[in-house]
Amino acid sequence: MSSSVDKEVIDRANSWLTGSYDEDTKAAVKLMIQENPVELTDSFYRDLEFGTGGLRGIMGVGTNRMNKYTVGMATQGLANYLKMMFPEVNPIKMAISHDSRNNSKYFARIVAEVLSANGFKVFLFEDLRPTPELSFAIRQLNCQSGVMLTASHNPKEYNGYKAYWNDGAQMIAPHDNNVILEVQKIKNIEDVKWHGVRENITLIGAEIDKIYLDRIASLSLSPESIRHQNNLKIVYTPLHGCGRQLVPEILTRIGFNNINIVKEQAIADGNFPTVHSPNPEEHSALDMGIQLAEKIQADLVMATDPDADRVGIAIRNHKNEMILLNGNQTASILFYYILNRWKELGKITGNEFIVSTIVTTRLLSIMATFFQVQYYECLTGFKYIADVIRKHENEKKYILGGEESYGYLIGDFVRDKDAVSACALIAETAAWVADRNQSLFDLLIQIYREFGFYKESLLSVTKKGKSGAEEIQQMMVSFREKPPVEINHSRVIVIKDYLLLKVHDKVKGTETLIDLPKSNVLQFLLEDGSIISVRPSGTEPKIKFYFSVNEKLRDPGAFEQTEKRLDAKIESIIASMKLR
């Protein structure tokens, strides 16, 4: 049956039938060779690569799968690179954490053993901890790097490996590319130092939790509002992930005493048995939280993903119905509250800044102008927000950053998106508006009236396997070679190509340069103010289409009708681009 498989794939698979691979692995490879050529190809047609989030892939045997061998080889490559970059540091220090996914703890232990065998000082969290706490620990313990074992919000079949630099941020160029080169030099598993040195590994936990939560508590801007509204009914679900301890703890610490946890989803379980996908971007992930909220008439629902770096929320509208907010709407509320409170408290001096990405709502840049803070825009991915913070940290004051994919960071003591601190400040925002006899929904309407009703939507098109990756690549080639002249009966007036780093103004007939790293992203700006962005995912077999439309909201009573028009406009754009 293997005759239909490329020779290179067969050779790669056969190499796993010799050497020091364990017998279970060899048996699984033999079975694929004999019976499953499609799975064989997907498992061995390439090496699992560092993308925008490090390693991420389906668990299983093979060079293109997450398993102890690919994890070990990646770790040895990372270790080799760190030795080159920090030759005067002895020992090099690393922090390691993991989430609730199947095999995450096992993979974390392998990473710790390989690093310790290389003579590194390893700080290993004793149990699952959020991604942002890993970022915090790297900075707190003066580590040169760190690794988080997680596949974030992906389905249960996936796991991943996020590599961090000494500032607590995920690696960017040149480090990410250089680590890939070092990993590629690891030709077989015999090149890996597998035998850990126990005395080089230190378990950490509660002591880091306390310092981390203390720093989050210091972000509070309205303690008096929390005191007045301490009985605000909050529903929280960790979606079987690692927010289960720290999110309720920080809410309690800053003063809330009516926190209701979805008990069925508070159990750490990598099979995520109560959800189709543990992704707060998907509405169904919040179903159980909303059911509990309706039962107890809660004001706010918050759900974090398995590694607790993203948060999705539901709030009550004017009809007392629970409605889900998208990531841009939550960002708009959070940014408005924090910027407004900084202004009220006299903390804005003109030297402060906020950050978001090229596919995040334009509302944030408009708010920055209104509140007289500087605004920076970066590529998609929180590592680029962290890079902006790093570049300006000695001269300007960072307030907060966020992206449309439900990730937010308040304060700079963490350098990745942080759902633990975001939950604290979202709950505080709810208390602040309640102190003014308003709701979060009222605040959202107020924002739309002041700055314009911006509505965004995301369409992800999945293309699995080798053929899918090739199809996605061809779609981007087609958009570049034959860009649309108009979309949904509106002229394309500007094309931004972040791979060529050029802005083509079709009205003025000019080309200008983009001062950002290269990225395979296209943006089409339409005459009617709509924006369509196209971006292949760096961590998943998807191509993503981002849509932004807007109009003025003159009357709060016209919210529903305006939203329906904007939603219909997005659907018309999708239809005109033949994406469904």
Question: In terms of Cα–Cα distance, which of 18, 70, 77 is closest to 46?
Answer: 70
Question: In terms of Cα–Cα distance, which of 397, 530, 391, 535 is closest to 476?
Answer: 535
Kindly list the domain boundaries of the chain, sorted by start residue.
46-204, 233-451, 454-576
pLDDT at 53: 61
Per CATH, which fold does 46-204 belong to? Alpha-D-Glucose-1,6-Bisphosphate; Chain A, domain 3 (3.40.120)
Same fold, 46-204 and 454-576: no
Q: Write the CA distances from 259 to 18, 230, 356, integer angstroms.
A: 55, 10, 30
| CATH assignment, 454-576 | 3.30.310
Q: Which structure tokens are listed for 125?
A: 């969290």
Residue count of the chain: 580
Looking at 36-156, list the stretches that DSSP marks H as alpha helix, in order from N- to C-terminal side: 37-44, 68-85, 104-117, 131-140
Cβ neighbours around 470 below 10 Å, total: 11
- DSSP SS3 for 222: coil
**pLDDT by 10s per residue, the chain, length 580:** 445 788 999 999 999 998 899 999 999 999 999 999 999 999 999 888 766 567 889 999 999 999 999 999 999 999 999 999 999 999 999 999 999 999 999 999 999 999 999 999 999 999 999 999 999 999 999 999 999 999 988 889 999 999 999 999 999 888 988 888 898 899 889 999 999 999 999 999 999 999 999 999 999 999 999 999 999 999 999 999 999 999 999 999 999 999 999 999 999 999 999 999 999 999 999 999 999 999 999 999 999 999 999 999 999 999 999 999 999 999 999 999 999 999 999 999 999 999 999 999 999 999 999 999 999 999 998 999 999 999 999 999 999 999 999 999 999 999 999 999 999 999 999 999 999 999 999 999 999 999 999 999 999 998 877 778 888 999 999 999 999 999 999 999 999 999 999 999 999 999 999 999 999 999 999 999 999 999 997 666 789 999 999 999 989 999 999 999 999 999 999 999 999 8
| Domain 233-451 CATH superfamily | Alpha-D-Glucose-1,6-Bisphosphate, subunit A, domain 3 (3.40.120.10)
Residue 152 appears among annotated catalytic residues: yes
Looking at 141-222, list the stretches that DSSP marks H as alpha helix, in order from N- to C-terminal side: 175-184, 206-217
Active-site annotation holder among 152, 405, 490, 533: 152
Q: Write the CA distances from 453 to 41, 354, 444, 485, 552, integer angstroms.
A: 47, 21, 10, 26, 6
